[in-house]
Amino acid sequence: MDIIKQDPINFSPLPDKFLDPSVAKPKLKNLLPLFLIISTILVTITVVLTLSTRSLTTKTSASTNYIIKPSLIPTLSPTPTLIPTIIPTITPQPSATPTLTPTVTPTPTPAFKNYTSPVIGDDFYSFQLTYPYVWELTDKYSLEEPKGLNVTLVDEYGNNIIIVQANGLSEMCVYYDDPDYTNFNGTASFFSSYFQLDKPAPWRISQNKDTSVPLDNVCEKNKDGRYITLTKIGWVFVKSVSSNNSIKLILESIVLKPTATTKTVFD
């Protein structure tokens, strides 16, 4: 079998001279220094490449040393987000117009009342009186014959004042301190005590000697200086249960109102 050696470059068959050993030896000897040089170059290149590779590895390693491990990276706490405080906007509500309730000032209760009597004939004076509001007054009268008037005042305690204008007969008022108290001769009413009033005329609230009589008489002083059971305004009776203060106040408030034709036993 014949071996055909090809050129590595153009792959053409080598000339026969390269196949002849006798011819080839001299040529190989001449090529030995060239091979040595090429080998040296190759070795040098290999060394250079090796050193270059090491240098790159070293740099890569060095670069790796500068890689910051995640654990060494300082954790930057994020700046806290400030949540704005939401201040609610308060829209003022329109104030409702207040309803003005009118102040009702109570009418003060009068402390006293007034009363004026009608004119009943010519035998008695008409009169006006003032009495406390807590007292009640009623009157009954007749302007026809027989003429007459009956006025009654009463309070919550049962105190009474009665004024009567009518035909009748008067009596003498005889008191415990009169000289003729024990031997008076005539028609009279006897009184064990009295309470003196100076207006509307000289009056005495007289307590009956007979304690069974429930009412006291008001006696008035006549022209003779004696007291009788009749007054210019008629017969006046008093029932005092608690105190004479209110009764005295009412009786002293009486104002006499005679007419031009009035004619009494005192005139």
Asked whether residue 120 falls in the same domain as residue 240, the answer is yes
Asked whether residue 150 falls in the same domain as residue 59, the answer is no
Residue after which a domain boundary falls, among 35, 68, 101: 68
Asked whether residue 56 falls in the same domain as residue 125, the answer is no
Per-residue pLDDT, averaged over 210-214, amounts to 80
- 151 assigned to some structural domain: yes
Lookup: tokens for 55: 């240098």
Per-residue pLDDT, averaged over 85-106, amounts to 63
Would you state the pLDDT for residue 159? 93
- 92 assigned to some structural domain: no
pLDDT tens by residue, 145-160: 889 999 999 999 899 9
Would you state the pLDDT for residue 107? 66
- 241 assigned to some structural domain: yes
Among candidates 117, 152, 153, which has minimal Cα distance to 134? 153
Would you state the pLDDT for residue 78? 55
Asked whether residue 139 falls in the same domain as residue 35, the answer is no
Asked whether residue 159 falls in the same domain as residue 245, the answer is yes
Asked whether the whole model's pTM tops 0.85, one would answer: no
Tally of domains in the chain? 2
Does residue 73 register a pLDDT over 50? no
Asked whether residue 168 falls in the same domain as residue 36, the answer is no
Average pLDDT in the chain? 78
3-state secondary structure of 4: coil
The least confident of 26-40, 78-92, 98-112 is 78-92
Residue after which a domain boundary falls, among 51, 68, 85: 68
Asked whether residue 141 falls in the same domain as residue 245, the answer is yes
- 218 assigned to some structural domain: yes
- 10 assigned to some structural domain: no
Would you state the pLDDT for residue 23? 47
Q: Which DSSP helix (H) or strand (E) runs through 238?
A: strand 235-239
Asked whether residue 149 falls in the same domain as residue 247, the answer is yes
Q: How far apart are CA 180 and CA 176, in angstroms?
A: 9
- 93 assigned to some structural domain: no
Residue, of 19 and 196, whose pLDDT is higher: 196
Asked whether residue 158 falls in the same domain as residue 212, the answer is yes
Lookup: tokens for 12: 């053409």
Asked whether residue 215 falls in the same domain as residue 119, the answer is yes
3-state secondary structure of 190: strand
Among candidates 167, 213, 162, which has minimal Cα distance to 190? 213
In this structure, the strands spanning 227-228 and 235-239 are unpaired
Residue % of the chain over a pLDDT of 90: 44
- 59 assigned to some structural domain: yes
Using 50, 70 and 90 to split pLDDT, how confident is the model at 72?
very low
- 125 assigned to some structural domain: yes
Q: Which DSSP helix (H) or strand (E) runs through 65?
A: helix 21-65
Asked whether residue 121 falls in the same domain as residue 250, the answer is yes
Asked whether residue 58 falls in the same domain as residue 138, the answer is no
> 151 is in which domain, residue-wise?
112-257
Would you state the pLDDT for residue 11? 45
Residue 12: is it exposed, middle or buried by C-beta count within 10 angstroms (0-12/13-18/19+)? Answer: exposed
Does residue 24 register a pLDDT over 50? no
Q: What DSSP designation does 106 have? A: P
Would you state the pLDDT for residue 250? 96
Q: How far apart are CA 255 and CA 21, in angstroms?
A: 191
